[in-house]
Amino acid sequence: MNIAVVGGGKRCLELIELIDRHKFQEIRPRILAVAEENHDEVGRMRAEQMGLFVTNDYNDFFKREDIDLIIELKDSMDIYNDILGKKAKTVRAISSRTAQLFREIGRLSDLHRQTSEKLQKLESMSSLIFNKLIHEEVLVIAKDYSIVDANDTLLNRVGMKSGEIIGRYCYEITHHRDIPCDGTDHPCPLAETLSTGKPSQSTHIHFGNGNNLLYYSISCYPIFEKGEVVGVVEMSRDITRDINYQKNMMHQEKMISIGRLSAGVAHEINNPLTTILTTSMLAQEELEKSHPLYEELDTIAKETIRCRKIVTSLLDFARQNTPEKKENDLNAVVSESLLLTKKQAAFNDVTVSQNLSEDLPPVFLDKGQIQQALINLLINALEATSSGGQVDVSTRYEDRGNSVEIEISDTGTGMTEEIRGRIFDPFFTTKDTGTGLGLAITHGIIIQHGGTIDVQSNPGFGTKFTIRLPINQGDEK
């Protein structure tokens, strides 16, 4: 549709720009000509720039045959009527009033387009954040605990589709419960946010597949509608790794300071102990066996030797040298450790069985240190197991994790949870003659090798220690 405009002012310019912006698919309007006497008017100047037909007198329009529509923008009914009288029948005319109406519609549609584009952008952005960028599990929950929406992270973990989960209660899905969560292990931050209208946070402890503890940090944010809380956004994050890392760091720091202290003390005590031992032995040599002090000196020597043993393990613990790793056959290291504890096993009347994997790759490790760690575990297992019991040792190749596993399990006394939480602490022992250093040393050795050591235990049913060691040099890579 070809348009001619009478009046080359601001409104003419706006019209030119409006038509330029909107392509108006069907009618394809195109301004061909502008009539304006004043050469300084903005619309006329733009028309000239664009190379349109520009004239001082609109009567020139009637000489052309390519015009379909004349728009009068001078706000003059006289001009409009004049046009109506002179135009050909096939040409249509619009007064400036009608043109004003179109302008409004144009403005509105502009506004609409901009906001809907913005909304669309916002919507796709929030969906991106909700489903892809947030690694936390997110639930939108209504006041009655029913789920309104869930993000992909949560759906993936629970293995459900959003259609299966929306409308069900949050505690059904995330905690497999029939009633809302409560108590100290599962305080419900949702209930708190609903009643206070403020964000809240709590930590939930769950059991993982291998009976290991998983920690979840759960935060709730209120959703308001007309000043009232109508629901919450609940975000939960698995913080097990952070917590374990923190625990490990604390443990390591403790070990380092205790290590320093022990090294100092052990060093100071070693010399006087040697003096006591040699002096008592020399004194004994001076005496007849029948002398009443002879046996007393014997006791002094024996007890001093025991003290020296404790000091030696203290030094072992304190030293905790960086391992000198070489390629080793782990099965051979395990077999040798078993051989070294054979006597004690026979003495305790405990059967020891080994189940060593044949496809173990060579492992980078410090043979002496790993042997010491294994012997500590084996001796503990034997000490905890009464006559007729069983100790099993096995090795396994963990292809996926690029690591090997050693398992030492016994049918002994087992441990309560309280004891289990303290066994790696130096000097923690439940034995009359124990030093409490065996597991502290073992732990240090495994960590230095870049590995992990885990324990599972049930009072009355026995204990299982699992060591995982990386095959490669780990930290040296």
Ligand X SMILES: Nc1ncnc2c1ncn2[C@@H]1O[C@H](COP(=O)(O)OP(=O)(O)O)[C@@H](O)[C@H]1O
Q: Residues in the site for ligand X, rule: CB under 6 A?
A: 376, 380-381, 384, 410, 412-415, 419, 423, 428-431, 434-440, 463
Shortest spacing between CB 365 and Mg ion, in angstroms: 21
Instruction: Give the number of other CB atoms < 10 A from CB of residue 471.
Output: 19
Q: Which residues contact 477 (CB under 8 A, 6 or more apart)?
A: none
By beta-carbon proximity to Mg ion, the closer residue of 5 and 393 is 393
By beta-carbon proximity to ligand X, the closer residue of 218 and 350 is 350
Beta bridge partners of 202: 218
115 binds, among Mg ion, ligand X, none (CB under 5 to 8 A by kind): none
423 binds, among Mg ion, ligand X, none (CB under 5 to 8 A by kind): ligand X
By beta-carbon proximity to ligand X, the closer residue of 94 and 437 is 437
**Buried/exposed 152-188: b ≥16 CB within 10 Å, e otherwise:** ebbbeeeeeeeeebeeebbbebbbeeeeebeeeebbb
410 binds, among Mg ion, ligand X, none (CB under 5 to 8 A by kind): ligand X
428 binds, among ligand X, Mg ion, none (CB under 5 to 8 A by kind): ligand X
By beta-carbon proximity to ligand X, the closer residue of 120 and 248 is 248
By beta-carbon proximity to ligand X, the closer residue of 342 and 431 is 431
Q: Are 147 and 140 in contact (CB under 8 A)?
A: yes
Alpha carbon distance 369, 330 (integer Å): 12
Considering Cα of 172, then 178, then 180, then 182, what sign does the dihedral take?
A: negative
Which one of 94-102, 268-276, 389-397, 437-445 is the stretch in contact with Mg ion (CB under 5 A)? Answer: 437-445
By beta-carbon proximity to Mg ion, the closer residue of 52 and 340 is 340
260 binds, among ligand X, Mg ion, none (CB under 5 to 8 A by kind): none
Which one of 203-211, 265-273, 372-380, 460-468 is the stretch in contact with Mg ion (CB under 5 A)? Answer: 372-380
Cα atoms in the Cβ-side hemisphere of radius 13 Å centred on 16: 25
Q: Are 387 and 348 in contact (CB under 8 A)?
A: yes
By beta-carbon proximity to ligand X, the closer residue of 54 and 391 is 391
Shortest spacing between CB 435 and Mg ion, in angstroms: 7
Shortest spacing between CB 147 and ligand X, in angstroms: 45
Instruction: Give the number of other CB atoms < 10 A from CB of residue 318.
Output: 23
By beta-carbon proximity to ligand X, the closer residue of 174 and 376 is 376
Two tokens, residue 301: 């020597």
Shortest spacing between CB 289 and Mg ion, in angstroms: 36
Shortest spacing between CB 445 and ligand X, in angstroms: 13
Shortest spacing between CB 406 and ligand X, in angstroms: 14
Q: In Å, how far are 134, 363, 374, 398 from 359, measured between CA atoms?
A: 41, 12, 20, 10
Alpha carbon distance 100, 108 (integer Å): 13
Shortest spacing between CB 353 and ligand X, in angstroms: 16
Taking CB atoms, the residue at the shortest distance from ligand X is 438
Q: Which of 386, 377, 371 is nearest to 464 (CA)?
A: 377
419 binds, among ligand X, Mg ion, none (CB under 5 to 8 A by kind): ligand X
Shortest spacing between CB 442 and ligand X, in angstroms: 7
Helical segments of 22-143, H only? 42-49, 77-86, 96-128
Two tokens, residue 117: 């584009």
By beta-carbon proximity to Mg ion, the closer residue of 389 and 470 is 389
By beta-carbon proximity to ligand X, the closer residue of 196 and 416 is 416
Q: Are 65 and 89 in contact (CB under 8 A)?
A: no
Alpha carbon distance 202, 219 (integer Å): 7
Q: Which of 29, 1, 2, 11 is nearest to 100 (CA)?
A: 11
By beta-carbon proximity to Mg ion, the closer residue of 380 and 411 is 380
Please, is 265 exposed, middle or buried when counting C-beta atoms within 10 Å of its C-beta (0-12, 13-18, 19+)?
A: middle
413 binds, among Mg ion, ligand X, none (CB under 5 to 8 A by kind): ligand X
Shortest spacing between CB 325 and ligand X, in angstroms: 24
Alpha carbon distance 329, 361 (integer Å): 8
Contact pick of 153, 284, 341, 380 for Mg ion (by CB under 5 A): 380
Shortest spacing between CB 373 and ligand X, in angstroms: 11
Shortest spacing between CB 308 and ligand X, in angstroms: 16
Q: Does 438 bind Mg ion (CB under 5 A)?
A: yes
Q: Which of 393, 381, 390, 387 is nearest to 457 (CA)?
A: 381
436 binds, among ligand X, Mg ion, none (CB under 5 to 8 A by kind): ligand X
# residues contacting Mg ion (CB under 5 A):
2
Which residues form the interface with Mg ion (CB under 5 A)? 380, 438
